[in-house]
Amino acid sequence: MTAAQFPNVRPRRLRRTPALRRMVAETRLHPAEFVLPMFVKEGLLEPAPIASMPGVVQHSLSSLRKAAHEAVTAGVGGLMLFAVPEERDAIGSAGVDPDGILQRAIREVAGEVGDSTVIMSDLCLDEFTDHGHCGVLRADGTVDNDATLEIYGEMALAQAGAGAHMLGASGMMDGQVGFVRRALDAAGYQDTAILAYAAKYSSAFFGPFRQAVESQLTGDRKTYQQNPANAVESLREVRLDVAEGADLVMVKPAMSYLDIVRQVADAVEVPVAAYQISGEYAMVEAAAANGWIDREQAILETLTSIRRAGASVILTYWALDAIRLLG
């Protein structure tokens, strides 16, 4: 090949060294973008490992407080709290009890870290019901949307009163954001923010999470969570939630729905979050444990893909691992 035949443009020049690649990187990760989901179980004295999620535990109240402090010291942007009660019933009474395990957990974390991070709480009934659904049931076993909203309003006041900065409205009930917003405002919690799980799909990747919260669910949630085949529907859901007062909107799961993350980010003017869920986490951990992939590279690659798709907030069980790798 003669000199005249050489390529005139050589994109590889900017990939030649780590410093060059770092300088021209189009997408960057920052610890403040990461939210660490955390589980607390009523009655525990010590943390209990979750078999399907290596490295993740159900916390006791005391270990939750310590872990929250460590996460905030490391630089996470927020903490999302989920709770496992000792007793469940058909209407999820523990979820609205001011002394229920989630409200106690919020108070513990707020007492430890205050306003130095964003304390988020899961506003949903599935952890608290004896049937495992995200709402109360009619006599025929279907979820009663509007009766569920009434309980969501009570939950919102309990969580805001305990000190949550942001409520994760995750139940996918029609009108949930507007109902919760009105309940909060009427009670003087105008400054409590709402993270709307606006595009939450009925996904096979939720399995390990259900083990983490010891879900009582039989059947599925296809009548209220979205069909994985649909994308336009997500944009409708997102626009409705924004109109009802959502401060952030979220896509869940993340990795199988990066196209949805991108479409949502292009469609709205509020921050977009994405939840890298338990099954996505577990698949990588399992493959890495078998020596099939490089765990650390996979962590950063998956998180970068979510950020590149348009999410400015990422809920991930790897929040602390990612911060360490970025450091």
Active site residues: 200, 252
Q: Give the closest residue to 149 by CA, choosing from 133, 122, 171, 121.
A: 171
* Region label for 35, one of left (φ > 0), alpha (ψ between -120 and 50) or beta (otherwise): beta
Q: Which residues pair with 118 in a beta bridge?
A: 78
Question: Alpha carbon 71 to chain centroid distance?
Answer: 16
How many helices and strands, by DSSP H and E, does the chain display? Answer: 11, 10
User: In whole angstroms, what is the distance from residue 68 CA to residue 74 CA?
Assistant: 10
- Alpha-carbon distance of 234 to 297, in angstroms, equals 31
Distance (Å, whole) CA 309 – CA 303:
10
Question: Following DSSP, what letter does each residue of 150-171 receive, concatenated?
Answer: HHHHHHHHHHHHHT-SEEEE-S
Q: Tokens in use for 211?
A: 């083990």
Taking a C-beta distance cutoff of 8 angstroms, is the pair 155, 123 a contact? yes
Question: Is 92 in contact with 102 (CB distance < 8 Å)?
Answer: no
